[in-house]
Structure 1
């Protein structure tokens, strides 16, 4: 009977496996005796993150509450003076023709939560005429508010678009008359002392809990006509637009983020 032969390829594979196993064992032994492999060497105890309370249905404990349904003290008219919008049933609603409103405080990098609702009655309205408003970060960069539920329009002008710049990843819109939410991470643009752009603004947005803008780079200020561009500026208010529709807002709060 012929003795079984060991194929050269199998022999080479066995040799390689033996070498690999030996190498892994040697590395494990070396790590066991290496004082730098002590798990405590890779533990960071400082800085200790501050505690933020997150009560259900309420703003985080470190948030600036901009609207809780009780009044518009944190807002002013774009034309100067008190904000002229209507407050009822825990919501504030655009009064068409009175102009937009803006926060009395300026903001740079923020986390912003804001809930909004377009009018339930849509007969005779479509496209950009249906539930149109906008949230302007630093008064210059618009995140579109629009009734985009079964309402075709240009994609970079629908709800959750960076108006005329960035199309949302998906359309997460609810029907008109239902409350919706944006959760926004905003990183303000950086400018040099001479006014040059060091870093463009960036935005991440969740619409009704769904990611729709993923660290999107902002090309510049929002423009209805023409190309966006940058001009140096500092922190600035959050601005809500009057676009002729009775859009409502509620539960607005902001957390100021520390630059890293």
Structure 2
């Protein structure tokens, strides 16, 4: 018999014995117990996610028909038009806000800019906005082949942070924002202890990645903070027939 032919099975047998020894040690050595790194409680709550619908633990703010969750920014009934499953801005009316106040949230909003773009460009084309806590604006705009300043286009934190990319669809097509919002924190004395932060996916594309908010949205001048608590979501009326649908929120 060839010597190498004999040595090879012996090497395999030795390897098997070594492996068995390792497993045996794992069974008897508490420091090598895999259950030491297993966490069983608390058990995460079960949330069902129907295709195209809101998660089971979400607060539905607009389902295509009911606007009971909203009011005019002046108080009273919603001045916008509800038809064909959409809530559409009436130019010359006022913005609307939720009756409920929110702090940290996950927010889903679908929106559509009008197709009649003739004579309109820049900030005058399909302009609206989603204001978190009524103070911090995520811009809604028709940014499809529509140049404007980068920190004012769709997906921007208005006048603060431009989007990473332009993920806009053509006017008349439904678009979606999926937002994670972390509210700012203030000390008992009113000082800022942590700024607001936002993550936004526009049509499934990441456009804001845990962006730090510098303060409330300002059209002129630098943003700044003043202490506040939880506050409504606000949808802006900006002289354009922008439509919204399928709006829901999860408190975090």
TM-score in terms of structure 1 length: 0.87
Q: 1:254 and 2:236 equivalent?
A: no
Out of 73, 87, 93, the residue aligned to residue 78 of structure 1 is 73
The 5 A counterparts of 1:41-52 are 41-52=36-47
Measured in 2, the distance between the counterparts of 1:30 and 1:184 equals 50
Measured in 2, the distance between the counterparts of 1:142 and 1:34 equals 57
Unaligned runs of 5+ in 2: 1-18
Structure 1 residue 31 displacement after superposition:
6.8
Out of 88, 91, 94, the residue aligned to residue 93 of structure 1 is 88
Structure 1 residue 126 displacement after superposition:
0.3
| Deviation string, structure 1 residues 154-206 (Cα, Å, up to 9, x no partner) | 00000000000001000000000100000000000000111010000000000
Measured in 1, the distance between the counterparts of 2:43 and 2:214 equals 36
Query: Judging changes above 3 Å, is the alpha-carbon distance between structure 1 residues 242 and 31 closer, same or farther for their aligned structure 2 residues?
Result: farther
Q: 1:64 and 2:74 equivalent?
A: no
Measured in 1, the distance between the counterparts of 2:226 and 2:235 equals 21
- Which SS does the other structure have where 1:183 is aligned? strand
- Which SS does the other structure have where 2:35 is aligned? helix
Q: CA RMSD in A?
A: 1.7
Structure 1 residue 115 displacement after superposition:
0.2
The 5 A counterparts of 1:121-200 are 121-200=116-195
- Which SS does the other structure have where 2:130 is aligned? strand
**Residue in 2 aligned with 1:6?**
none
Q: 1:239 and 2:243 equivalent?
A: no
| Deviation string, structure 1 residues 59-102 (Cα, Å, up to 9, x no partner) | 00000000001121110000111111000000000001111000
Measured in 2, the distance between the counterparts of 1:173 and 1:29 equals 56
| Deviation string, structure 1 residues 104-147 (Cα, Å, up to 9, x no partner) | 00000000000000001111000000000000000000000000
Measured in 1, the distance between the counterparts of 2:206 and 2:82 equals 30
TM-score in terms of structure 2 length: 0.90
Structure 1 residue 39 displacement after superposition:
0.6
Q: 1:112 and 2:107 equivalent?
A: yes
Out of 179, 202, 205, the residue aligned to residue 210 of structure 1 is 205
Q: 1:54 and 2:49 equivalent?
A: yes
Measured in 2, the distance between the counterparts of 1:34 and 1:123 equals 76
Structure 1 residue 36 displacement after superposition:
1.9
Measured in 2, the distance between the counterparts of 1:131 and 1:29 equals 65
Q: Across the two proteins, how many residue pairs are aligned to each other?
A: 233
